DNA sequence: ATATATTATAACAGATTTGTGAAAATTAAA
DNA sequence: TTTAATTTTCACAAATCTGTTATAATATAT
């Protein structure tokens, strides 16, 4: 279980880190929002503990950016003053918050609560799903319709029909564009790009197979 | 859907309130058990979130009193210590409990679960009042008849018979105009246009599926 | 580490699709 | 027959989508 701690104060990071290590969590650290984004992108982070007041990019902005990349739970750290009210009004998925000064024990308790909840156990609420309803000609993520162009839709459908099978650009082109398409192979790349962007947190289901092409990865989690 | 939050800490009340408002619940607040009793007496409260440790009258007592007045579901808040054990033994109708520290998201999830359970599914649906009575051969919106031409009527009927299914212009033409219609496909567009205009506030139930055709969208919500 | 191959992204002109109004054609009614 | 209502076609504008190019980022091999 990997926890990312994002705070500009090394002292705070260290305290939290020590407690987490005692509980057998793996710990990653970031000094600011930008670093946090990179770390989330490159690692399978299970939860982020994030300070609000930080240089370069504040916590709110960082959460927004990270949510675009991955659906990972957040616990926010904030001072007990006006920051707090702002936090409340901040409607994107924050799982919990802790106001400074906080006791390490309390923070750990909350981290445990959140990880337990998101990791299944009593996961009666969230059903995370990417669904392509071909009859309705509609793609939904967690029930919310996703706006895809016709080509994006066709591409996703074709990739999903061939789950876990690596498909060359050539194969993709002849199946979706037709055998008589004589355009650039890079065209596929562009559509993969736009499709990924529209899939939001599911952007990673389309894996690049270097030297080969692309595939829809039905397995959850990886790396 | 009205939720009463009963807790002596304004901070906690505010946090819960903000999250609930985001989910379109109505929120009432009480600072202690006595206030809660009055509020339940005077309002159509659908659920009570109640802290156990409170001045004047504790949560247990308040639940007992309120149960005498009205059978309303409860979710209790309690600290993770000995209070918790007491709660377990407390057998009058408590629907759920959440131990502090709790994450707002978790509490909301439980509130949703309880309200869904007690109210049944349809509570959130608004009454769909677009009706096509095929026997009467009449379409009404909120009981008021809508004036449709024969083709418009046929088109609407066909789309409604195929709710949530994307239909190509070609399919529509051969089903309504007949397989032997050799006219312009765009004829469909024109009839969709006039039909939409006649459907007034329901014009959006007919969705354009770009590159494909049209569909009748039975789902609520759209933004 | 550097060079090379491969993939990702942004930008944009051109192509396609759809919405719409209006005219023409057809059908039904008076 | 004349008139009105309905249906169909058409054309243009607006909206949206597509493929290409150029450039950046990344992975792999030397």
Give the model's pLDDT for residue A70. Answer: 76
A145: which 2 tokens?
């319709």
Select the residue of A91, A114, A124 nearest B103 (Cβ to Cβ): A114
Residue nearest to nucleotide C21 (CA to C1'): B190
Give the model's pLDDT for residue B21. Answer: 79
Q: Are B137 and B196 in contact (CB under 8 A)?
A: no
Pick out the nucleotide with least CA–C1' distance to A41.
D26
pLDDT tens track for B127-154: 357 888 887 888 888 878 899 999 999 9
SS3 state at B215: strand
CB atoms within 10 A of CB B218: 11
Give the model's pLDDT for residue A124. Answer: 35
Percent of chain A with pLDDT over 90: 21
**Cα–Cα distances in Å, from A96 out to A111, A114, A196?**
9, 8, 29
Give the model's pLDDT for residue A98. Answer: 67
- Domains of chain B plus CATH, in order, are 2-124 (3.40.50.2300), 130-216 (1.10.10.10)
Q: Do the chains contact at B103 and A113, CB–CB below 8 Å?
A: yes
SS3 annotation, chain A? CEEEEECCCHHHHHHHHHHHHHCCCEEEEECCHHHHHHHHHHCCCCEEEEECCCCCCCHHHHHHHHHHHCCCCEEEEEECCHHHHHHHHCCCCCCEEEEECCCHHHHHHHHHHHHHHHCCCCCCCCCCCEEEECCCCEEEECCEEECCCHHHHHHHHHHHHCCCCCEEHHHHHHHHHCCCCCCCCHHHHHHHHHHHHHCHHHHHHEEEECCCEEEECCCCCCC
Pick out the nucleotide with least CA–C1' distance to A203.
C8
Q: Do the chains contact at A113 and B106, CB–CB below 8 Å?
A: yes
User: Is-cis flag, bond preceding A101, omega within 30?
Assistant: yes
Pick out the nucleotide with least CA–C1' distance to B210.
C17
| Measured CA A175 to C1' C20 distance, in angstroms | 35
Task: Tally C-beta pairs within 8 A across A and B.
Answer: 54
pLDDT tens track for B161-210: 888 889 999 999 999 999 888 889 999 999 999 999 999 888 999 999 99
Q: Are A138 and A144 in contact (CB under 8 A)?
A: no
Q: Is residue A97 very low, low, confident or very high in pLDDT (cuts 50, 70, 90)?
A: low
CB of A122 less than 8 A from some CB of B: no
SS3 state at B81: coil
Kind of pairing, strands A144-146 and A130-133? Answer: unpaired
- Residue B8 sits at φ, ψ, to 5 deg, of -80, -20
Residue A124: list chain B partners with CB under 8 A: 109, 113
CB of A79 less than 8 A from some CB of B: no
Alpha-carbon distance A63 to A97, whole Å? Answer: 13
**Cα–Cα distances in Å, from A128 out to A135, B43, B143?**
21, 36, 39
CB of A88 less than 8 A from some CB of B: yes
pLDDT tens track for B17-30: 877 877 788 999 99
Alpha-carbon distance B159 to B85, whole Å? Answer: 58
What is the residue-averaged pLDDT of chain B?
Answer: 80
Pick out the nucleotide with least CA–C1' distance to B191.
D7
pLDDT tens track for A101-150: 666 776 787 787 677 665 544 333 333 578 888 888 889 887 788 999 99
Give the model's pLDDT for residue A193. Answer: 94
Chain CA centroid to CA A32, Å:
18
A173: which 2 tokens?
């082109």
CB of B44 less than 8 A from some CB of A: no
Select the residue of A91, A95, A125 nearest B22 (Cβ to Cβ): A91
**Cα–Cα distances in Å, from B166 out to A91, B170, B181, B213, B223?**
34, 12, 21, 6, 20
Alpha-carbon distance B200 to A87, whole Å? Answer: 41
Residue B112: list chain A partners with CB under 8 A: 125
- B82 to chain A, minimum CA–CA distance in Å? 17
Alpha-carbon distance A118 to A124, whole Å? Answer: 10
Q: Do the chains contact at B101 and A110, CB–CB below 8 Å?
A: yes
Longest dimension (CA), chain A: 66
């Amino acid at each position: 279980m990997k926890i990312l701690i994002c705070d500009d104060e090394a002292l705070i990071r260290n305290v939290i880190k020590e407690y987490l290590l005692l509980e057998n969590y793996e710990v990653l650290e970031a000094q600011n929002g930008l670093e946090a984004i990179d770390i989330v992108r490159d690692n399978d982070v299970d939860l982020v503990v994030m300070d609000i007041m930080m240089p370069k990019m504040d916590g709110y902005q960082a959460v927004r950016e990270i949510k675009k990349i991955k659906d990972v739970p957040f616990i926010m750290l904030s001072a007990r003053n006006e920051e707090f009210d702002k936090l409340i009004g901040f409607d994107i998925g924050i799982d919990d918050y802790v106001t400074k000064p906080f006791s390490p024990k309390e923070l750990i308790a909350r981290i445990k609560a959140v990880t337990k909840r998101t990791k299944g156990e009593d996961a009666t609420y969230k059903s995370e799903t990417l669904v392509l309803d071909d009859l309705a000609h509609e793609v939904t993520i967690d029930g919310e319709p996703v706006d895809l162009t016709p080509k994006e839709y066709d591409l996703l459908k074709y990739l999903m029909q061939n789950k876990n099978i690596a498909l060359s650009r050539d194969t993709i082109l002849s199946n979706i564009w037709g055998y008589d398409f004589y355009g650039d192979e890079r065209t596929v790349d562009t559509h993969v790009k736009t499709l990924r962007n529209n899939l939001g947190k599911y952007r990673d289901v389309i894996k690049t197979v270097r030297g080969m092409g692309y595939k829809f990865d039905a397995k959850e989690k990886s790396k």
